[in-house]
Amino acid sequence: MSSDTNETRPSRLSGRLTAVQGTAMYVGAVLGTGVIALPALAAEAAGPASLLAWLALVLLSAPLAATFAALGARHPDAGGVSHYARLAFGDRTAAVVGWCFYLAVPPGASAAALFGGAYVSAALGGGRTTTTVTAVGLMAVVTASNAVGVRVTGRFQFALAGLLVALLLVAVAFSLPHAGADNLRPFAPHGWTAIAPAAALLVWSFAGWEAITHLAGEFRSPGRDLPRATTAAVVIVGVLYLAVAFAVIAVLGPGAARSEAPLGELMAQGLGGNARLLAAVAALLLTLGAMNAYFAGAAKLGAALGRDGALPAWLTRGSTAGEVPRRSLSVVSSLALLSLGAVTLTGVGARPLVLLTTGSFVTVYAVGVAAAIRLLPKRGKARAAALVALVAVVIMLLMSGRYLLWPLAVTGAALLYLRLDGRRADRAAMARAGSGRQ
C-alpha cells in the first residue's frame, strides 16, 4: 500500500472541518475583496470587454483549484504548498515557497482591510481616519476568531459566506432590471489588447485556491471533503464574479469605470435610496471572509515551517491538526499591522500591497503546480488538470512583470536564513562533539 493512501486517512487527531465549512472557507478566501473594487478597475481598463477577462480567469481557476485540491487530499499537511514542494523538490524549495506565502499574507490582509475600511468611510464619513480605524478593527476581529481555534473559524466562515452570497445575489437581482444593452456598446472601447491588462488586475480576485491547502489536515476526511468543497466553491465563486461584473457594466455603464464603490452604486440602483450603509456591510463581510481564511492558513503554515526548520522552532506549537497556532498567528497579525501602518504613514494606499501580494501568490502557484505534475499519478484527471493549470500559471507570471522582484527578494532571504541556520547547527554539533571528547 502506498504512502499516499496512508496520508489520506484521518489521524488520531483528526480535524473537524466539514465539506460545507470548507466550501465557505474557499468562498471567503477567493471571493474576498476582489468583488468590492475590481469590476470597476477592470471596466476602466477594457470596458465591457473586461467581461471576457473575468470569464477567462473563472475557466482557468477550475483546473488550478482542482490541482491544489488533489494535492491536499493526497498529502494533507499544515505546510500546504510548502509541503508539496518538499516532497517534489526538497527542503530548500519548500522553505522558499513557505516564506513567499507566509510573507504575502500580511500585506495582502492590510490591502483587504483598507478596501473594507474605504466602504465604511464612504458610508459614515471621516476619511482616512475612519478607513484606518476600521482596518485595525477588522484585523483584531480576525485575529481573535483564529486564536479561539479552527472550529470556531469554520463556523464563523460559514456564517460570513452565507450572508455574503445572499447580499451579492440581492444586489444583482434587484439591479439587473435597470440594465441596458447600450451600456455594452462599444464592447471594446480601448481595443481587444486591453483585455490583458484587465486580466492582470483580476489575478488578485482569483488568488486563494492554494490557501485552504494549509488546512487540509483540519478536514474530517480530506480525501472526500476537500474535492467536494473545491468543486462547490469553483461554481459559487465563478457564478458570483460573473454576475456582479456583468451587473456593474450593464447597469452602471460608462460610470462603472469611474466608481470607487461600484457595489454600493449597484445596490443603490436596485434598492433605491442611500445604499452606502448596506454596501459597507457587504464590504466588511467580504473583507472578514478573505482575511479570516488567509490568517487561518498562514498561521498554520508558520507553525509547519517552524516544525520543519524553515523558520524559528519557537513557532512550531500548533502545527498538529486540532491545535491552535497562536504564536504564528501573532506574527502574521503583527506584520499585517506594520504593513498597514507603513502605507498609512506614507499615504501610498493599498495598490502597492496588492501588486506585491499578487506577485508572491503567482510564484507559489508556479511551484505548487510544478510539484503537482511531479507528485500526482501520471494517468488521471488530477494530473491532466495540473498540466492545464501550468498554462494558466505561465500566463499569470507574464502578467506579473516587475512585481516578481518581491518574491525574488523573499527567496534570497529564505535561502540566507537556511544557510545561517545550518551554520549555527553545525557549530552546535561541533561544540557537543568537543564536549563529549572532554
CB 278 within 8 Å of CB 123: no
Per-residue pLDDT of the chain (438 residues; tens, 9 = 90+): 333 444 444 343 455 677 787 777 777 667 767 777 778 878 888 889 999 989 988 888 888 888 888 887 788 776 678 788 889 998 889 889 889 889 988 998 898 898 888 888 878 888 888 989 999 999 999 998 888 875 555 566 667 667 777 878 888 888 888 888 888 888 988 888 888 878 877 877 777 677 666 666 677 777 777 778 888 888 888 888 899 889 989 988 887 777 767 777 787 777 765 677 878 887 887 788 778 878 888 888 888 888 888 888 888 887 776 678 889 999 999 999 999 999 888 887 777 887 788 888 888 889 989 999 999 888 778 888 889 888 888 887 887 777 788 899 999 999 999 888 776 655 544 554 554 555
C-alpha cell at 3: 504512502
Q: How many CB atoms lie within 10 A of CB 334?
A: 13
DSSP 348-404: --SHHHHHHHHHHHHHHHHHHHHHHHHHS-SSSHHHHHHHHHHHHHHHHHHHHGGGG
Q: What DSSP character marks residue 78?
A: T
**Angle of helix 50-74 versus helix 351-375 axis, rounded to 10:** 50
Question: For residue 266, what are the contacts with CB-CB under 8 A and spacing of at least 6?
Answer: 171, 172, 175, 244, 247, 248, 251, 252
Residue matched to cell numbers 486591453: 194
- Please give the single-letter amino acid code of residue 215: L
Which pTM was predicted? Answer: 0.75
Domains of the chain, first to last: 16-424 (1.20.1740.10)
Helices of type H across 91-126: 91-102, 105-124
Asked if the peptide bond before residue 197 counts as cis, ω within 30 degrees of 0, the response is: no
CB burial of residue 90 (10 Å; 0-12, 13-18, 19+): exposed
